[in-house]
Amino acid sequence: MADNNKGGALAAGVTGAVIGAAAAAAAIALSDEKNRKKAEKVLENLQKEGNKIFKEISKKALELKDMVNKKASQTQEEPKKLKSNKKK
């Protein structure tokens, strides 16, 4: 459960950073055409980096989910095996 919170906190942190950067870039962009172009590049790079991080977090979350499901199914099978061994 703690790992889920860490992933959520990381995603929230990334989202907050992107939103903060977007707000700062928007203020700069309004003042000058050159700055607007620079801000657009910065935002584009931030978006690409955010997408990479999001994909990595999603991949790790799916791996953890699969691992938990596998362990859960193994745990459910163990009592069945024990019961069948007792009957012999």
47 is written with which tokens?
A: 């978006």
pLDDT of residue 9: 73
- Interatomic CA distance for residues 74 and 72, integer angstroms: 5
Q: What is the mean pLDDT of residues 9-18?
A: 77
Query: Residue 84: pLDDT band by 50, 70, 90 thresholds?
Result: low
| Residue 86 pLDDT greater than 70, yes or no | no
Domain that holds residue 38: 2-87
pTM above 0.75, yes or no: no
Angle at 35 between CA 29 and CA 38, to 5 degrees: 105
Alpha carbon of 11 to those of 5, 14, 15: distances in Å? 10, 5, 6
Q: Structural domain tally of the chain?
A: 1
Give the tens place of pLDDT for each residue, 31-57. Answer: 777 777 887 888 899 889 988 999 999
